[in-house]
Structure 1
Amino acid sequence: MEKPPPEKSGSFSRNGNGNQMDDNSGPAGAESEAVHVIFDCQQPGECGPNSNLEEHSSDPELSLPQVRKDVDRFLESLSTINDASNNPPDVPSCVESFLEMLINVLGEFPSNSTTASCFNRASTILHLAMSLLDSEFRLALESCNQGNSADLKSPKPSKQASFSYRQEPAYCVIPESKTSEDVEFPAYASEAISKMNKIATAMISSGYESECCMVYNMARRNAFSSELDRLGFENISIEDVQKMQWQSLEGVISMWITVIKHSSSVLFSGERKLCSSIFSEHPSISQTLFCHIALAVAVRFVNFSDAIALTKRSAEKLFKILDMYEALRDLIPFFDDDACSSECYEELKSEIWSAKGRLGEVAVSIFCDLENSIRRDNGRTPVPSGAVHPLTRFTMNYLKYACEYKDTLEQVFQKHQKMEGCAYSNGPVLDTKNGANDDGTPKTSPFSVQLNSIMDLLDENLDMKSKLYRDPALRCIFLMNNGRYILQKIKGSDEIHEMMGDTWCRKRSSDLRQHHKAYTRETWTRLLQCLNHDGLMANGKLSKTILKERFKMFSAMFDEIHRTQSTWVVSDEQLQSELRISVSAVVTPAYRSFVGRFQQYLTSGRQPDKYIKYQPEDIENLIDELFDGNPTSMARRRT
């Protein structure tokens, strides 16, 4: 079947469906000339019978010259319409009359006429010409030199990558890409772009819009896919992702994040600019083509994101999940401008929004599961020497790094407030704005509620673990160690300190002071009773026997305390110093006073050192050896 005669650019101004005129369809003069050519060929005997168009007009009052003038006037008015025009002008009746005349005349040409043969030859020639342009267009598109694309191989440290109980989290490596000012994508020469623009304009004007768009779409999709492969982002299936170890996936995720950022800042911008340049006379076609290409790339990004969301959830994955969430969140605004309002763009944004939402649900689930991790940690073996519990270290470091994503977590929790298993799931929607209430407490939000819930659970767990110690003094040391560690971590992070508030920190400091007093009472009160003057007199005289017994009892008790508590660990140097100073301030003056008053009663006898084992300076020095840990663990743990 022969291809029908191609329509002129004026007919393509309706964009194929007759619904809208194209402002850039071409000069009115060209259309007018086409009208004259058609009419001029209507000479008797040349173009078939009944060639006079006036005979076929439905309105006998309209003459051919009048119709031609009206059509020319309408075409001239089209050339003055700018791109900002919202509504194209209505097609006047003269154009419809002209089309009716033309259809009637062409319909009367016999199939074996000379004119039909000419039409067929013209159609064949046009088809061959378009085939050549098609091939030329494809070759021009494939000639892009990608050598100037960004090198994404230079690593730099970024946010937290993973987390474990055994060590402080390592930092992931995210390649550093060049800025959009340093990179040109795609790397076409201006002459090549000009050539492709002319080819595209000719093909569209000749009725080959779909063929032109198909070539462009396929070539640019392949080029974009090759560029992503070159940058290191491979197309990994969901099944392959499920089989990979998390340590291996971390590197792939880092590259995925980098490629998305690079696409947003360089690749998508370059692709949109290229579309606009090649299809400058047809902006609607340009926008549609770019959207379809971007959608194909976004689907590739989303597929990997969904594969990660389907992996087994664990605490160590939270930070990478949040990095991915942020990458998709920051990609969406690129497609939010006024030029991106078609259904295709809505589908594109919907795909990204949905993938981002699935990552958000995973992040909330992982963070909320921290509560369950604390509840499950119910071991019955106390930590040696009253040191900071591993659960405390893990939880506080985890929260500290999580709060570096505070703004993102606020967004995530706000959008998933009803997730089952979270502290806030059954509560009302809370104020998420930063700042403080009138009483100085921080304003609540879903994330801050969850954070406070975790801190309360940790408190309860530590209180339970403290009861595993038989020695009440060691129980106090354990609570002080863990309480100080928690407080220092919160004060050392602006984000978590802001969320917990000064009131909470003051309450924690007060709790520490209470534990300190309890330790002093449990350890040193009975020792100080040995230095009490009461009971030293017998029959109105000082009893040397009782005095000797008091000195011996003090030395024995002090030796036991020193032997025991020098193995205990206070990892915070400031807390350790505070404890030693407070103990020395209570014990040393009392002992110095007691020795100064009663030493004279024993020095006159034999072996006074047998009873007065320590001088006040010795007591002070020995107190400074407390809380250092046993010989196998003298090195203080890093906090």
Structure 2
Amino acid sequence: MRTILFKASPSRSPTRSTPHRQTFSDTLMDENFENARELISKWDASRSSSLHCDVANLFASDNRYEAQQYLNSIKDLQIAMQYHISQDPTSDKLVLAQNLMEIAMKRLEKEFYIILKSRRQHLDPESVSRASRSSVSEFEDESEEDELSRVEEDSISEVELVSMDAMKDLKAIAECMIGVGYGKECVKIFKIIRKSIVDEALYHLNVESMLSLAQIQKMDWEVLEVKIKAWLHAVKVAVKTLFYGERVLCDQVFSSSPSLKESCFADITREGALSLFVFPENVAKCKKAPERIFRTLDLYEAIADLWTEIEPIFDLESTSTIRQQVINSLNKLGEAVRATLTEFETAISKFNSKAAVPGGGIHPLTRYVMNYITFLADYSGVLTDILADWPLTVPSPLPEAYFGSPVSADGTSTSSISIRLAWLILVMLCKLDGKAEIYKDVALSYLFLANNLQYVVNKVQKSSLKLLLGDEWMEKHEEKVRQYASNYERMGWSKVFAALPDANDNQMTTPQVTDCFKRFNSSFEEAYNNQASWVVSDSKLRDQIKVSVARKLVPVYREFYGKNRQLVARKEGIVRFAPDDLGNYLSDLLFGAGGSGSSLSLSTSSSASSFSSSSGHSRGVRSR
């Protein structure tokens, strides 16, 4: 029988962990780690004692290839860390990798600071604004040949190239730091440095951030006007260059993070922009005066013209307070303009001087108001916006024909500014009607009205008011001037005209002729002496008036003189004027200041020839 021997089963030993077999991925991650450690350690920022300086800069022009490798190594290090976390969260390699990442971030933080400081002159808003016209691509390796070819491009200046490179470097660093979770450190440095640059630029533009409303209200107008002029220059530079350039820089550097680029731009510009745009609102709240309206309009016009640029620059939610401040300033400036125009109209209505202008000349009120309105017309664009929702309220009912509301060429109503300016002129003309009553001589009253209305018409004709008020307005007021001149002629010379006989009266006795000559002599001398100091300022109107009087007077007198002079030739002093003398004397009138400086006398020893000689002498010495 076969004996079967059985060996006792050996006792089982405790279970042991199988050693981890290194995979291809492990090997690749270890290589990435070692490569990163070698390059990051080389540029360890802890070797220098300060953030502000170092022996060499990683992003210097001669290190651009290594800078790119440095950024790539950080990306590889992050990938390796993520891999080890997924494989073994307790791996010692994670601790080493984290320490290495801290070193790398300190290096990039320092490089970020160095670029912002050392290339500041190439990151100024003007350079950034120009460079923004060229696309800023991702940070990429560039050979010396590529760099040389770029420099040779005529369309891009050297300054723009340096500016573009600086922005690309900043963008590359920011994207890297944000990608590994160190965005706050990057943003903090950027905000501190760029805000100081913006604040310094505004300071050099004379934008005073601490100027309060109370301080502005206490300023003398001359001082405030200087500050307004400075602001008008500053706002253009600030919007077109400073804020625009800063927006471009923030958008480029932090393009990978919309929230960070918005936060950076808002925090950098908010304080300066609010200080800049609150100034017009504070000016608008100051005491109103007619002469200040033009600076108020300058402020309004500057903001309105820049609004299409301001809005897209500050279109972020975090900069809505800046946009609202701009709108508030526009609204307050508009209110100030409307209030000033109301006060100006009231001042015209309440003008209370009772002094008569010598010779019926141009009243100071006419000169002041028309010069004022002429300047207002130069702001017709902004005034149209300001007055659009401010309808004219006439305090008392007036006939439409009297108001003379201007209409455009196609018959439609013109803008609110045209109606408003026409109304202000009408208020002044109504006031002048009252001033005309001061003169005791009715003829002089009409001459005063003709003078002043002609001045108004001339001002309108020679300025942009003509386009605003229109041809119909001009025609109506030119006709009114002719009516005033005709009334002056009728009232001032009717007695002289009446002294001459009817042209059909051919049967006059010698006593009748003698009496007619005497009455004519007396009335003409009275009219001449009475009007010797009267004036017509407009040379064209003056000539028209004198020609009109001469045409009605001289031919009739010449005919009477020719028919009847012989009848009274033996009577001395009866014929005092030859027909040509009348024209000479008339031509000497309406220059003011006493005419020729002499008056006609009723002395019977005078003769027609002596008056002719005297008149000729006076014209010879007059400077015209």
Question: Is residue 443 of structure 1 aligned with residue 413 of structure 2?
Answer: yes
Question: Is residue 602 of structure 1 aligned with residue 568 of structure 2?
Answer: yes
**Counterpart position of 2:612:** none
**Counterpart position of 1:612:** 575
CA contact (8 A) 1:551 1:611 kept: yes
Give, in angstroms, the shift of residue 368 of structure 1.
Answer: 2.3
**1:85-234 correspondence runs (5 A):** 119=95, 130=105, 133-143=108-118, 144-145=120-121, 189-234=163-208
**1:540-619 correspondence runs (5 A):** 542-544=509-511, 546-603=512-569, 605-607=570-572, 610-619=573-582
**Counterpart position of 1:624:** 587
Name the count of aligned residue pairs.
Answer: 489
CA contact (8 A) 1:305 1:355 kept: yes
- Give distance in 2, aligned partners of 1:359 and 1:184: 43
CA contact (8 A) 1:287 1:340 kept: no
Cα offsets for 1:346-402 (capped at 9, x unmatched): 332111111111111111111222210111112222222111111111111211111
- Give distance in 2, aligned partners of 1:631 and 1:229: 61
Give, in angstroms, the shift of residue 193 of structure 1.
Answer: 3.1
Give the fraction of aligned pairs with identical amino acids, expressed as a percent: 27
What is the letter of the counterpart of residue 362 of structure 1?
Answer: A
Question: Is residue 525 of structure 1 aligned with residue 494 of structure 2?
Answer: yes
CA contact (8 A) 1:387 1:478 kept: yes
Question: Is residue 504 of structure 1 aligned with residue 510 of structure 2?
Answer: no
**Counterpart position of 2:454:** 484
Give, in angstroms, the shift of residue 532 of structure 1.
Answer: 1.4
Match of 1:472 among 414, 437, 442: 442
Match of 2:249 among 274, 282, 297: 274
- Give distance in 1, aligned partners of 2:243 and 2:566: 93
Cα offsets for 1:430-477 (capped at 9, x unmatched): xxxxx9969855514433332232222122111111111110100010
**1:358-377 correspondence runs (5 A):** 358-377=332-351
- Give distance in 2, aligned partners of 1:501 and 1:468: 32
**Counterpart position of 1:342:** 316
Give, in angstroms, the shift of residue 514 of structure 1.
Answer: 1.6
- Give distance in 2, aligned partners of 1:621 and 1:629: 16
**Counterpart position of 2:299:** 324
Match of 1:314 among 276, 283, 289: 289
CA contact (8 A) 2:499 2:523 kept: no
Change (3 A) 1:30 1:318: same
Compare CA radii of gyration and give the structure with the larger one: 2
Change (3 A) 1:613 1:352: same
Give, in angstroms, the shift of residue 520 of structure 1.
Answer: 1.4
Q: Which secondary structure does the structure 1 equivalent of 2:575 belong to? A: coil
- Give distance in 1, aligned partners of 2:551 and 2:176: 96
- Give distance in 2, aligned partners of 1:363 and 1:183: 45
**Counterpart position of 1:352:** 326
**Counterpart position of 1:513:** 482
**Counterpart position of 2:365:** 391
> More helix per residue: 1 or 2?
2
What is the letter of the counterpart of residue 486 of structure 2?
Answer: K
**1:417-436 correspondence runs (5 A):** 417=390, 423=393
Question: Is residue 411 of structure 1 aligned with residue 385 of structure 2?
Answer: yes
CA contact (8 A) 1:484 1:572 kept: yes
- Give distance in 1, aligned partners of 2:396 and 2:77: 70
- Give distance in 2, aligned partners of 1:582 and 1:249: 54
Q: Which secondary structure does the structure 2 equivalent of 1:614 belong to? A: coil
Change (3 A) 1:633 1:297: farther
- Give distance in 2, aligned partners of 1:633 and 1:194: 84
Give, in angstroms, the shift of residue 578 of structure 1.
Answer: 0.5
TM, length-normalised to structure 1:
0.68
What is the letter of the counterpart of residue 121 of structure 2?
Answer: N
Give, in angstroms, the shift of residue 581 of structure 1.
Answer: 0.6
CA contact (8 A) 1:383 1:389 kept: yes
**Counterpart position of 2:84:** 37
What is the letter of the counterpart of residue 519 of structure 1?
Answer: Y
Q: Which secondary structure does the structure 2 equivalent of 1:501 belong to? A: helix
Change (3 A) 1:448 1:183: farther
Change (3 A) 1:148 1:593: farther
- Give distance in 2, aligned partners of 1:633 and 1:184: 75
- Give distance in 2, aligned partners of 1:463 and 1:363: 28
Q: Which secondary structure does the structure 2 equivalent of 1:357 belong to? A: helix
CA contact (8 A) 2:550 2:583 kept: yes
Question: Is residue 379 of structure 1 aligned with residue 353 of structure 2?
Answer: yes
- Give distance in 2, aligned partners of 1:187 and 1:269: 19
What is the letter of the counterpart of residue 291 of structure 2?
Answer: E
- Give distance in 2, aligned partners of 1:426 and 1:377: 19
CA contact (8 A) 1:145 1:187 kept: no
Change (3 A) 1:574 1:298: same
Q: Which secondary structure does the structure 1 equivalent of 2:191 belong to? A: helix
Q: Which secondary structure does the structure 2 equivalent of 1:570 belong to? A: coil
- Give distance in 2, aligned partners of 1:183 and 1:293: 28
- Give distance in 2, aligned partners of 1:566 and 1:474: 12
Q: CA RMSD in A?
A: 3.7
- Give distance in 1, aligned partners of 2:452 and 2:502: 38
Q: Which secondary structure does the structure 2 equivalent of 1:629 belong to? A: coil
Give, in angstroms, the shift of residue 247 of structure 1.
Answer: 2.3
Give, in angstroms, the shift of residue 409 of structure 1.
Answer: 0.6
- Give distance in 1, aligned partners of 2:319 and 2:159: 22
CA contact (8 A) 1:440 1:502 kept: no
Give, in angstroms, the shift of residue 273 of structure 1.
Answer: 2.3
- Give distance in 2, aligned partners of 1:550 and 1:184: 97
CA contact (8 A) 2:239 2:310 kept: no
Change (3 A) 1:425 1:461: closer
Give, in angstroms, the shift of residue 191 of structure 1.
Answer: 4.3
What is the letter of the counterpart of residue 333 of structure 2?
Answer: L
- Give distance in 2, aligned partners of 1:426 and 1:268: 51
